């Protein structure tokens, strides 16, 4: 579980560069690392719990996509709204959700945000501007267009951001929500996480264009491609999108090129993914690459500094797992709570 900064072994190694105008202090750089590592380690814990039969229901991993979740969510400000999707645990963490609550949610404990009523990432936290994702992918695009409409009508300098995968772009909701946001120039940011597969459907069977982002011009909105494995690039592009939105420039589509390194869910071995493709993306691991970046650019003094963060995360997760598993399942008397508006 402990990882270390390893020396470079090849000249062709995937190397990150920081965007030219990225304004980030040392704390910021380290926070990005912290959230990505926390995202990775928390999902590893959940995977273990799943195999121990402690997790109730499915488990969806964002292995290899942590940079996208963390970078995009980190660009937001107070008052902004965000709805993660199934592979954005990192976005929850950046917005301040405690791992204890996430583990409790996965294990169906009363301590989870849905009080043990729903599972995995099907939860939100309205006080923190987090809207719950649901299984009907892209259904949050029109919902977020609605939130953005309210921001515009009330003159708020805020944005609404949500994620879709390459697969969800083929749905009705994506099209209708996107078009509405474009017509009304709403402060909406859509992150299209193009991770190669929608369950077992490769992108070539999902849309007949090389880069999804060309659709932005068909909606009359701005679009940009970003390396979804570069947390700094994800942060930078989302910050610029945010500026554009709050200045009335209308919605922005960001296509983050990344890869889903596990199956659709923990039960799926993804045998349909060519081994070479998976290997290629393993070499582009966003967390490892970012560690190398921090080391190479002397943002950290030594490997020990990173190891100290890793150790802190592990200690926190040890405690979180213990606390979540020690907490009770929901009491039967709470069954009808939160079912109807009280």
* Beta carbons within 10 angstroms of residue 105's beta carbon: 27
Binding mask 170-189 for other proteins (x = CB under 8 A): xxxxxxx--xx-xx-x----
**Rule CB under 8 A: which of 219-238 touch other proteins?**
219-221
Backbone angles phi, psi at 84, to 5 degrees: -70, 170
What is the Cα–Cα distance from 253 to 250, expressed in whole angstroms?
Answer: 10
Q: Can residue 144 be called a binding residue for other proteins (CB under 8 A)? A: no
Nearer to other proteins, 105 or 179 (CB): 179
**Rule CB under 8 A: which of 310-329 touch other proteins?**
none
Which residue among 136, 153, 209, 335 contacts other proteins (CB under 8 A)? 209
What is the Cα–Cα distance from 90 to 32, expressed in whole angstroms?
Answer: 10
Nearer to other proteins, 171 or 314 (CB): 171
Q: Can residue 207 be called a binding residue for other proteins (CB under 8 A)? A: yes
Sign of CA dihedral 141, 146, 147, 152: positive
**Rule CB under 8 A: which of 55-114 touch other proteins?**
none
Residue 185: CB minimum distance to other proteins, A = 8
Question: 224 to each of 66, 97, 341, how far by Cα in Å?
Answer: 19, 29, 41
DSSP 8-class letter at 191:
E
Q: Can residue 250 be called a binding residue for other proteins (CB under 8 A)? A: yes
Nearer to other proteins, 90 or 250 (CB): 250
Residue 184: CB minimum distance to other proteins, A = 9
Q: Can residue 137 be called a binding residue for other proteins (CB under 8 A)? A: no
Q: Can residue 41 be called a binding residue for other proteins (CB under 8 A)? A: no
**Roughly what angle, to the nearest 10 degrees, separates helices 99-106 and 26-51?**
20
What is the Cα–Cα distance from 292 to 290, expressed in whole angstroms?
Answer: 5
Residue 175: CB minimum distance to other proteins, A = 4
* Cβ atoms of 98 and 125 closer than 8 Å: no
**Residues within the interface to other proteins (CB under 8 A):** 170-176, 179-180, 182-183, 185, 205-209, 214-221, 250
């Amino acid at each position: 579980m402990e990882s270390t900064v390893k020396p470079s072994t090849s000249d062709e190694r995937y190397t990150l560069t920081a965007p030219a105008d990225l304004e980030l202090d040392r704390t910021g750089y380290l926070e990005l690392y912290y959230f990505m590592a926390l995202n990775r380690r928390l999902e590893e814990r959940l995977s273990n719990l799943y195999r121990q039969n402690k997790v109730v229901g499915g488990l969806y991993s964002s292995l290899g996509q942590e940079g996208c979740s963390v970078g995009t969510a980190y660009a937001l400000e107070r008052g902004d709204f965000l709805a993660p999707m199934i592979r954005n645990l990192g976005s929850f963490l950046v917005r301040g959700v405690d791992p204890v609550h996430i583990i409790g949610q996965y294990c169906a404990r009363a301590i989870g945000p849905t009080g043990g009523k729903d599972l995995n990432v099907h939860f939100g936290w309205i006080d923190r501007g987090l809207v719950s994702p649901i299984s009907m992918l892209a259904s949050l695009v029109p919902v977020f267009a609605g939130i953005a409409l309210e921001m515009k009508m009330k003159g708020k300098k805020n944005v609404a951001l949500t994620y879709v995968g390459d697969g969800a772009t083929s749905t009705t909701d994506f099209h209708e929500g996107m078009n509405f946001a474009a017509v009304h120039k709403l402060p909406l940011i859509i992150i299209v996480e193009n991770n190669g597969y929608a369950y077992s459907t490769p992108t070539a069977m999902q849309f007949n264009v090389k880069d999804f982002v060309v659709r932005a011009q068909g909606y009359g909105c701005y679009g940009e491609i970003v390396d979804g494995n570069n947390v700094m690039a994800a942060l930078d592009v989302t910050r610029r999108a945010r500026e554009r939105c709050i200045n009335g420039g209308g919605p922005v589509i960001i296509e983050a090129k990344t890869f889903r390194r596990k199956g659709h869910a923990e039960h799926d071995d993804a045998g349909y993914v060519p081994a070479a493709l998976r290997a290629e993306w393993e070499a582009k691991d966003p967390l490892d690459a970012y560690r190398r970046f921090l080391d190479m650019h002397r943002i950290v003094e030594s490997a020990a500094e990173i190891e100290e963060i890793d150790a802190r995360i592990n200690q926190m997760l040890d405690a979180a797992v213990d606390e979540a598993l020690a907490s009770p399942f929901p009491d039967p008397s709470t069954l009808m709570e939160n079912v109807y508006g009280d």
